Structure 1
Amino acid sequence: MGKGLFITATGTDVGKTYVTALIVKKLKEAGYHAGYYKAALSGAECIADSDAGYVKKVSGITQEDDTLISYLYKEAVSPHLAARIEDNPVELQKVTEDFRKVTEEYEYVTVEGSGGIVCPIRWDETCRLLLEDVIRALELDTVVVADAGLGTINAVVLTVEYLRQHGISVKGVILNHYTGDVMQEDNVRMIEMLAQVPILAKVKPQDTELSMDIGKLVSLFA
């Protein structure tokens, strides 16, 4: 069985998919048999045009499309609402089974979340499922992707504390859109002090490589 790591974020549009692609790419280029998985994805007509398709293209992995995602919705809304509109609710058993199949094939599997950590995956009369339930079911540790700019201290601390309070381990934070100005440097310092987690990497605009030691990256997977 391969090892896995869950990538979540402080919210939508902070660059979680972009950073995930860089992680998978770095693993692959270092010679590791790297795979990808996402439980539910909304807002795409097909896998090739989805976040999963983007990760596959950027990273260069050759994983079969139908193993990348368990549930693909066309509606560009939260997965729970897309599932209701399209009458195709997420089944946690299918998610765990699909993930295990990927880990049987790949050495290191990077799992991408949907939106921020408080993201409803299914919410109906018979089942209420949040993203945190998926993380716990897959028994994974997490890395939080956040924007490097204004407001990130609050967003990161709240996200990290939420994860901890719900029994989920946080390995660290990756800051996206990093330019290294005085405010962003202070954000790094304050996040590490207030959230008590390390800044694992700083991703600059247009970066095509993840500036992180490969040994350190591999050590995050469990």
Structure 2
Amino acid sequence: MAKTFFVTGTDTEVGKTFVTRALMRAAKEAGKQVLGYKPVASGCELIDGSLKNEDALTLQAESSIKLPYAMHNPFAFAPAIAPHIAAEQAGEVIALPRIAEGLTRLRETTADWIFAEGAGGWRLPLGQGHFLSDWVKKEHLPVILVVGARLGCINHALLSLEAIRHDGLVVAGWVLNRVDAHMSHYEENAATLKQLISAPFLGEMPRLTEDEAETAEGFIDLAPLLK
């Protein structure tokens, strides 16, 4: 059965997809067949008659095995708002069993590793009192935290790690992503994070242009995940 990692972030817009793609590429370089999974996505466009999300399309394109879009992203909503609100507006329920079923189907393929990317931060509400983290807990998935380097990130990172561990999950590693190119005292903040975070450090992603990001390689160290 494919080993599955859940990729979460310290907040929304911290580069989870950018980092997940980098993780997938590094895994392929290590000889793994990989798949990307985006259980819930809002901010989707109508493409070929169905709603599709840019981030989920990125994960689909980076996957080693060609599968239908819906297998990568079972819940897709048009408005770029919190998914539980988008689902309510669409008259849908984001059901945890359907998310679990989607992962099971991916695990039935020949993939070695699956990277499941969350939406927003760790405690993402899905509606009806449920959170996406409830599913991660039920699956006992090791978690990779993407820390978006900007003002306040140390607090956000430590609180996220505390919540993940409080939920009884293993933090498989963390990645620092420089989302704010003009962050004051970036190096000092990065050093503080590396000192305070007691989890494997998987890499540091620099601030890249969109074109540079398309070909970005060599920033991820998968060694801790290969153990």
Instruction: Report the CA distance shift for 1:71/1:108 in structure 2 as closer, same or farther (over 3 A).
Output: same
**1:73-92 map, 5 Å:** 73-92=77-96
Percent identity reads: 29
Aligned to 2:220: 212
1:195 maps onto 2:200 in alignment? no
2: distance between equivalents of 1:81 and 1:122?
Answer: 8
| Aligned positions, number | 215
Compare 17-26 and 6-15 and name the one that shifted more: 17-26
Cα contact 1:18–1:55 (8 A) shared by 2: no
Q: 2:200–2:224: 8 Å Cα contact kept in structure 1? A: no
| 2:13 alignment counterpart | 13
Structure 1 gap segments, 5+ residues each: none
Deviations 1:105-146 (CA, angstroms, capped at 9, x unpaired) = 1110000001011210123xxxx2112102112220101101
Counterparts of 2:134 and 2:161, CA distance in 1: 16
Cα 1:10–1:214 change in 2 (3 A) is closer
TM-score, normalisation: structure 1: 0.86
* Counterpart mapping for 1:62-77 below 5 A: 62-77=66-81
User: How far apart, CA to CA, are the structure 2 residues paired with 1:113 and 1:183?
Assistant: 29
Please list the CA deviations of residues 8-49 of structure 1 after superposition, one character each: whole Å capped at 9, or x if unmatched.
000011101111111112222433110111211111024654
Q: Do structure 1's residue 35 and structure 2's residue 50 form an aligned pair?
A: no
Q: Call closer, same or farther: CA 1:115–1:80 in 2, change over 3 Å.
A: same
Partner SS state of residue 74, structure 2:
strand
Normalised to the residue count of structure 2, the TM-score between the two structures is 0.85
Deviates more, 1:38-47 or 1:136-145: 38-47
Q: Does 1:186 align with 2:203?
A: no
Instruction: Please tell me the residue identity of whatever aligns with 1:155.
Output: H
**Superposition map of 1:1-222 within 5 A:** 1-46=1-46, 48-57=52-61, 62-105=66-109, 106-123=111-128, 128-177=129-178, 183-206=185-208, 207=213, 208-219=216-227
- Cα offset, 1:87, TM superposition: 1.0
Distance 1:5 1:215 in 2: 14
Pairwise CA RMSD? 2.3
